[in-house]
Amino acid sequence: MTPEDYMRMAIEKCREGVEKGQAPFAAVIVKDGRVIASGHNTVWQDNDPTAHGEMNAIRAACKALATIDLEGSDIYSVGEPCPMCFSACHWAKLRKVYYGITIEDARELGFQELTISNARMKEEGGSPLKVEGPFLREECLEVARLWKSLHGDRTY
């Protein structure tokens, strides 16, 4: 399995959420070549503004491994983690984040993103978290566009 394979799993998880009317974001967490957890955005489903895809995946991974320390794990996220999710990755001690579309792309979809990139969060916050992206941006944009065509009038 390659990073591309894991990102495509995240895209599939994202599509699952979009088909349920949820926002087009999802993530997969991998440790030592094994998928630990995945999650799509459930903000509307759970009536919870903190239920972003990355948050759901981190919480599920911690439950699965019975730890608050995900050291050595990587997260593959369809969207660049917003500052909330970036910080959650930092707190969970993830090793690396791969992301597809950028925070700017998410803003263009209509979401009220805080305009701070992961590179800025890392630099200014002093986090050891590694960041790689945009990664498979075109494939991630494709599922974002599917969401836009189906449910794009509803954002937050």
* Beta strand ranges found along 41-92 (DSSP E): 73-79
Active-site position among 4, 19, 54, 71: 54
Amino acid at 138: E
Cis peptide bond N-terminal to 24, omega within 30: no
Closest CA to 92 of 59, 124, 130: 59
Rounded to whole angstroms, the Cα distance separating 57 from 76 reads: 10
Among 4, 19, 20, 63, binds a copy of itself (CB under 8 A): 63
- Taking the least distance from each CB to a copy of itself, the nearer of 11 and 79 is 79
With binding defined as CB under 8 A, does residue 132 bind a copy of itself? no
Is position 153 an interface residue for a copy of itself (rule: CB under 8 A)? Answer: no
Contact 129, 89 (CB under 8 A): yes
Is position 139 annotated as part of the catalytic site? no
Residues identified as active-site: 54
Site residues for a copy of itself per CB under 8 A: 43-44, 47-50, 55, 58-59, 62-63, 66-69, 82-88, 90-92, 112, 114-116, 120-121, 124-127, 156
